[in-house]
Structure 1
Amino acid sequence: MNLRSFFIPLLAASYVAAHGYVQKVFIDGTEYTGPLVGSGSTDGITREISTQDPIKGATNPDLTCGPGALAASKVADANPGSSISFLWTGASGSPWPHNVGPMMTYLTNCGEQSCADYNPNGTEWFKIEEAGRLDNGTWAQAALLNGVPAEVTLPSNLAAGNYIIRHEIIALQNGQAEGGAEFYASCTQLKVGGSGTGTPPSSDLVQLPGAYSDTDPGILVDVYSNTKASYTFPGPPVVDLGGSGSSSSDPSSASASSADSNTASTPSTTPTRNHSPSSVPASSTASESDSQGSCKLTLPTGALAKRETRPRHVSRIMRGLDFSFLQALMH
């Protein structure tokens, strides 16, 4: 048996087994650390998810805000034109493991209530950004492997109000097979100020799930057969609110300042997790400013600082093996 051909796929499977989540969000340079996966924590501005595994199927109810998402207890201040960056990371603080497929960003308006009290199940969303294949044939998503956050700019004429911003990655390394696409969604709660007046036309509003199907040309697609081919984004077009839109990943990492001073009241009841699009505490308040598939391995060229996350998906057997002999096999 060729030991090299046996062990390398084994290591690849363990590397991507847990996939990833949004570890931090940066809003105009202020850093907000997200909750640990599966912790049940509602502290912060980003909705906690129950697992780092991908969402499978374009009609999966977890597509709204991620698997078993829980409403966060805080909201963050933003303004039209604010820069918002999402730092995606892999399991246990490892780099994000995928590099092919689009990234898209949506907003939904929570109405008069704080988004900490809002359940987005069945609500309508509008797209403010999409980033796909670059002119050189690579994907904007690939920058995440090097620890570069995905940067989005809020529309410059966005009307003031309470919004959930939803950042989404569709990993397409298995997109050549129906149902092979992997969806990752993360929701962060905002209060947008300013004097903007822009609201989306009804024709640009969609439900999530509901905007995609597993046979859409941007979801059922072999991204390796022609790396220069144009890509068709799923979902609605990027909305035009009468101001400037948003951009794809910035090649430079977002600067950050501490947001630890933000305070918010905690929910008066213990939130209950379910796998509808999002679970909301029965009485939460917030202060302002405050199915799995196999993967092809993509080794990162950079690394993020390690951070313990729950659950850890590498088995005891894999952790106990000594792979030092592989170095010799590779030569």
Structure 2
Amino acid sequence: MKSFTTIAVSALALLPYVSAHGFVNKLVVDGKSYTGNVPAQKTNPSVIRQINSIDPVKGANNQDINCGHSAQKASLVADVQPGSTLEFFWLAGGGQLWPHNTGPVITYMGSCGNTAANECDAGNVKWFKIDEVGRGSDGQWVQASLMSGKSISATVPKNLAPGNYLIRHEIIALHLAETVGGAEFYPSCAQVKVGGNGNGTPKSSDLVTFPGGYSDTDPGIFDRSAFDASAKYIFPGPSLVSLSAGNSASSGSGSSNSSGAAAGAVASSPSSASSAQASAPSATTTKTCKLGQKRMVKRHSFFQRSH
């Protein structure tokens, strides 16, 4: 028979994971904040499309992998410029901090053509990848920075043609990814209008749809080495976009957390990540990271596996 102490400790360990899923609760564009709506609660004006559940999307062929569970069009559109900094803040249910620390964070954009972003059907959008971040130079997943309330940043490609776009920001949680179908997808979409006078557009080979952009058996989705800080990580989906009318500065830049720490496995700053990632040759390019502190990467693995 288990002692009272053992039972009590087990119960306390599970408390942080009662609402251990989450959503994008705020988008900051060049310092201007846009608050999102709590899933399945009151809908206020926002640029972030409201979802109806904080639960992860399971399965790469799930229709909700596009923008999240039953995502609804939002009423507002944010003005952004080529080169604008996008900061994404995540919360768990009940207003708690983001609970997971294992897996990549990927950001896409997609053109809505002549349709305003707040009227755009995400199911018709073809997406191009502007940012991807996995482990930092210390071997830890950058996703873990969200657990202390920091943001994950991305940059609008510097020569992107003006127009109506959706931004798809996604966490892929890999704490259960040792089995096929175990990965947890947390996609979120925001509505923007890009200004400026850029003329860069993605090549057809850079474009994917969701569902369709991933498979449950893709490296980086079915991943048995997510807790190995020395393992190479292969990002799923297409390579980072290279805009057809631009140059290397036109590609999506590397991310950093809100404190400015290095976010890409191949970069030590946002600017160096930009040049390194812009030259990425394919979607299966591996990101080599330094051997980090395994103890910190695995710090929450026991509780996540029990979640």
- The answer to whether TM tops 0.5 is yes
Aligned equivalents of 1:204, 1:94: Cα separation in 2: 36
- SS class of match (2:234): coil
- SS class of match (2:256): coil
Q: Kindly indicate whether residue 199 of structure 2 is the aligned counterpart of residue 197 of structure 1.
A: yes
RMSD between aligned residues: 1.7
Q: How does 1:259-274 map to 2 (within 5 A)?
A: none
- Checking the alignment, whether the CA contact within 8 Å between 1:40 and 1:70 is kept in structure 2 is no
Instruction: Return closer, same or farther for 1:7/1:55 CA change in 2, 3 Å cut-off.
Output: farther
1:43 equivalent in structure 2: 45
Aligned residue-pair number: 257
Aligned equivalents of 1:214, 1:296: Cα separation in 2: 23
Match of 1:119 among 118, 121, 125: 121
Q: How does 1:133-152 map to 2 (within 5 A)?
A: 133-152=135-154
Q: Kindly indicate whether residue 303 of structure 2 is the aligned counterpart of residue 297 of structure 1.
A: yes
Where do 5+ consecutive residues of structure 2 fail to align?
261-300
Amino acid at match of 2:55: D
- SS class of match (1:133): coil
Larger Rg: 1
Instruction: Return closer, same or farther for 1:223/1:86 CA change in 2, 3 Å cut-off.
Output: same
Q: How far is the alpha carbon of 1:211 from its aligned partner?
A: 0.9
* Superimposed CA distance per residue, residues 185-238 of structure 1 (whole angstroms, 9 cap, x where no aligned partner): 110000000011110000111011111111111011123553211100000000
- SS class of match (1:297): helix
Aligned equivalents of 1:138, 1:248: Cα separation in 2: 15
Where do 5+ consecutive residues of structure 1 fail to align?
254-294, 299-331
* Superimposed CA distance per residue, residues 138-160 of structure 1 (whole angstroms, 9 cap, x where no aligned partner): 01111111111111110000110
* Superimposed CA distance per residue, residues 62-99 of structure 1 (whole angstroms, 9 cap, x where no aligned partner): 00000010000110100000001000111111110001
Instruction: Out of 68-77 and 8-17, give the one that drifted further.
Output: 8-17
Q: How does 1:81-96 map to 2 (within 5 A)?
A: 81-96=83-98
Q: Please identify runs of 4+ aligned residues in structure 1 that moved more than 6 A.
A: none
- SS class of match (2:97): coil
Q: How does 1:152-191 map to 2 (within 5 A)?
A: 152-191=154-193
Q: Kindly indicate whether residue 77 of structure 2 is the aligned counterpart of residue 71 of structure 1.
A: no
Aligned equivalents of 2:6, 2:175: Cα separation in 1: 20
**Higher relative contact order at CA 8 Å, sep ≥6: structure 1 or structure 2?**
1
Aligned equivalents of 2:6, 2:217: Cα separation in 1: 33
Instruction: Return closer, same or farther for 1:224/1:183 CA change in 2, 3 Å cut-off.
Output: closer
Structure number having the greater helix percentage: 2
- Checking the alignment, whether the CA contact within 8 Å between 2:37 and 2:43 is kept in structure 1 is yes
Q: How far is the alpha carbon of 1:244 from its aligned partner?
A: 4.4
